[in-house]
Amino acid sequence: MKKKWDMRIPPILVAPIFFMAIMLSICKTSAQECPALMSPADGSTLVSVDATITWESVTGVPGYIISLGTTPGGNDILNERNVGTATSFTPTTGLPENTEIFVTITLFFFNQPNIVCDSQRFTTAALTGVPQCTTLTLPVNEATDINTATNISWMAAPSATGYFISIGTTLLGNEILKDTDIGNSLNYNPPTDLPAESEIYVTIIPYNRIGMAVGCTTLMFTTAQQAILPLCTTMLSPMNGETNVPLSPTLEWNAAPNATGYRVSIGTSPFETNILENAIFFKTSTVVIDFEPNRTFFISIIPFNAAGEAIGCTQETFSTLLGCGPYYDPLSGELLVLNPEITFPDIVSICLDNEISVVTATDEADGYRWYKLDANGNETLLSTTAQVTIDEEGAYVYEAYVNIEESGRTFECASSKTFEAKISQAPEIKDIKVQLSASSLNYEVITGINGNYEYAIDNKDGPYQDSNRFTDQSLTDHIIYVRDKDGCGTTSSMVEQDLTVSGFPKFFTPNGDGINDFWQFIPPNETEEYKVSKIFIFDKFGAFLAQISPNKDGWNGSLNGRPLPESNYWFKAIATNNKTIIGYFSLKR
């Protein structure tokens, strides 16, 4: 895994302050900045009335607000429900049938304008039958010792548009409440307490325009002795909807009359308790360590006593401090981050000829960290400076960070990347193959080892090319340069073209008169410079014709027994000291 700064853990993370130079009121934004509906897709028809609405996740957006209506931008079905980081929402009581539904997603930001996206739409299908029956969620069927002040709640029945409820003290009875239409609601709060220590029978019948559900079962629970439940409480700190909350805040709430304790749940969406789930406190405050920055948190506090829990308590929200970003800048329309930009390469080379290979950071930052990764992805810290010594191939992590200070407090914003270290070394020229053409030379450079090399001719400073071939070069001496791209050295070799060297005849006359019928090298002396091992002969277009040895008769001017015409011909001779000699001669008849 890549080494990243975990902003939820380090104790040095404190409240950064991010001021916007000018706050603009933004009502709409271009479509490409907003998420597209995934299900139902924009423009869909025949959508189920109990559909779950999902949309794309937008990078850098800390939360979403959803509204549903029957007009563009409308909220007559659902008014600005904050769902945190969730990218889906299921309307609790379903959607109206055969209706064009407009979905408005708002991108929620901290201390800056939200982005209200253009509405997208779909059309629901018409109902085709009566709804199904439902079941109790509070109290559950056959529950006992239920407080007499309880509310009654049930699950939504797909395609229901309303519910009839009857409550009695006998099976199928309605002594407490008789066949009451409570509309499209999923709970009922009796105006007076239920009788104590009694069996309570509840019948709930969902309905829609086609008719009422059929065969619904009467549900039952038993009440406890008369007792007084505590009332609900509200947050004191942070207040409901408060933003810029410190990452390690003290949560404090009002004391609820008759409460002996409180059950606290916290989540990152209205539907989750992934931070704290039903934690019990016997006081009205608690300290939470290291909330994540840039997040909205949803908190529920339920007072309780021996009689039971408070009923109908609502969820509250607060949002934490801005961290390193990204932040939406309303002036530029861009997302901004405080993390340093990383320009470090994906691959660095270790020069084999160097005893120590030092790698240097490429980015401006307040500090750096270098890690070695093993085969299992475990990290070993190597350096906390701008340089690190690397002596073996493998995977590494480079991290650069900046310190953000505000009111004497400091927090880090870091960026990191994984890179690979590879061994490289200075090139070695093994051979330079020379090919003749009519009036120029072609070279092919052969290196002794494979490497990440580039090539230049006649100038050590380049220009360099990736190809190891040079074509159409002049008939003069040339120097070939080979350079390691990773900075591990440059080597060179000269290719000499001596067109006037003695020992090679300028012409010959293969006419069968016994005089100068063969073309052959005649060394002027026996020095090392003039010891030739082999000679190649080409026509003026560079086509190979023959290979001769210096201790034989030489070339008779024919190819496959057929005399060749008068013309100029090329030769290439290889000396025993690896010197290459290239020249030309004339065949006369």
- CB-side exposure of 83: number of CA atoms within 13 Å? 23
Higher pLDDT, residue 326 or 176: 176
pLDDT band at 312 (very low <50, low <70, confident <90, very high): confident
The domains found in the chain, sorted by start residue, are 31-123 (2.60.40), 136-222 (2.60.40.10), 235-320 (2.60.40.10), 347-420 (no CATH), 429-495 (2.60.40), 507-587 (2.60.40)
pLDDT for the residue 454: 93
pLDDT for the residue 408: 47
Nearest Cα to Cα of residue 539 among 503, 574, 578, 570: 570
Rounded CA gap, 49 and 91, in Å? 9
pLDDT for the residue 246: 80
Length of the chain in residues, anyone?
589
pLDDT band at 542 (very low <50, low <70, confident <90, very high): confident
Rounded CA gap, 2 and 556, in Å? 72
pLDDT for the residue 584: 81
pLDDT band at 5 (very low <50, low <70, confident <90, very high): very low
Tokens of 358: 């030092």
- pLDDT beyond 70 at 175: yes
pLDDT band at 335 (very low <50, low <70, confident <90, very high): low
Higher pLDDT, residue 82 or 201: 201
pLDDT band at 84 (very low <50, low <70, confident <90, very high): confident
Q: Please give the span between the terminal C-alpha atoms of the chain, in angstroms, as a whole number.
A: 79
Higher pLDDT, residue 176 or 30: 176
| DSSP H or E run through 206 | strand 199-208
Rounded CA gap, 398 and 372, in Å? 9
Tokens of 39: 């299900």
Tokens of 111: 């201390």
pLDDT tens digit sequence for 452-504? 899 999 999 989 999 999 998 877 778 999 998 877 888 888 876 554 456 78
Range in 15-24, 199-208, 348-357, 428-437 the model is least confident about? 15-24
pLDDT for the residue 112: 64
- pLDDT beyond 60 at 70: yes
pLDDT tens digit sequence for 105-131? 998 876 567 889 999 999 999 999 999
pLDDT band at 505 (very low <50, low <70, confident <90, very high): confident
Quick one: average pLDDT of 171-199?
A: 91
Quick one: average pLDDT of 238-250?
A: 84
Rounded CA gap, 90 and 113, in Å? 26
Determine the Cα angle at 96 with ends 91 and 99, to 5°. Answer: 120
pLDDT for the residue 65: 92
